[in-house]
Structure 1
């Protein structure tokens, strides 16, 4: 028996591919940067958590619509086996290597990542399927584009009839932490990885009408945290809010888009990527 594992990443997440033997596949690391020096307290504090429907705790159980959260701070997760993950990033995910001119510090991909990450999730199989395109941003001067704030990843043909989720310490020491054994429903298991401010987390995220929002021309307040993962001083580009998604020109090489009702409302916490 096999099932499809669907993981949806929300918030401040950096997608970093690691090729296997120089090929087109390998592992995709999703780095959740620490907010040290980047509004790490109060209303700007980010929480790294794994979410799943509580119905997944019972074999054959129905979806209950009640989300359980497991803390990921200080820990890493790996899903899938081998090095078969698709590594291409679509146009909705800006390539920060084009800005920095170098890759992230390779230490962030190893067994001891130090203190610059809150958490890390590694996919060893599957690929990006859909994104929430969010709103329109000015990226480089005069370049307008959507930037995703949610990314969906699927791993088909997961072996077995259940998934045991185990988190390992980011610092390479200490004991692993069992987060639970989860069961698919109708051949699919859905997980959420959040790196959001606390008011955007289940069970009671802040309604859209009460989101703080941005004024035209303002920068997302947390995006600069990505640039702290490149191992030293680097050039930075921070997007500026430009308007509704319809205000953007068509994007090339875009991902398929999530339905609007699956996109959530927060767009101050965006995703980024780093090409090979």
Structure 2
């Protein structure tokens, strides 16, 4: 911005350089209150009125959130706060590896285990002792399976409004997408954000951010029904927001790339995920 017509700094009295663009006095560092360039003034006013995290996002080209091992420790902490826990299986990348691992530790037969896995989302562990659940969590993570752990008692027949407090405020197409998938998909999670996105070849994708998982609902080309991908934070190395896209980096370096329909949604997603303090 210009030097606002000052020959001398109104704060420190130093002589101002002329014919230069500046925002702060080069002598004392104070910010000028009067600005002649209206467009720059407008830009700064917008940035100053933004929440701190949003202003930081606007100032940087991309943002990275490292997950680390803290999320695993937090899950275990919740588990041991209750005498027993249940596990909802949401998604598995290596289904056969998961089945093989479960067959070695569960008392159920192979057919029952495969049936439970094939019918995801499923209540695969119901009210098991916390110490046993803690061991099983590592097994699911090693098989790259996404789960939700529910301590103690829980309502296994909730309404969609109980799971999505903002449901009635969502656009109709997002409501229809959410109710088109099994309601068990959302059990055990606290939903924070629901956004319209583009994923792979789907132009009707839905991104749902919760405290445990990131959900992507999408339709394949010419498909009428939604499919889903669920990614537990425990499977991720980091999350990167670059302009209008969200990149989910797995610990094995595999990447999922999601594009926001509205660029401003990247700010909401960043703030939501950052609030979990990974």
Q: TM-score, normalised by structure 1?
A: 0.22
Q: Give the TM-score normalised by the residue count of structure 2.
A: 0.22
Higher strand share: 1
Q: Which has the higher helix share?
A: 2
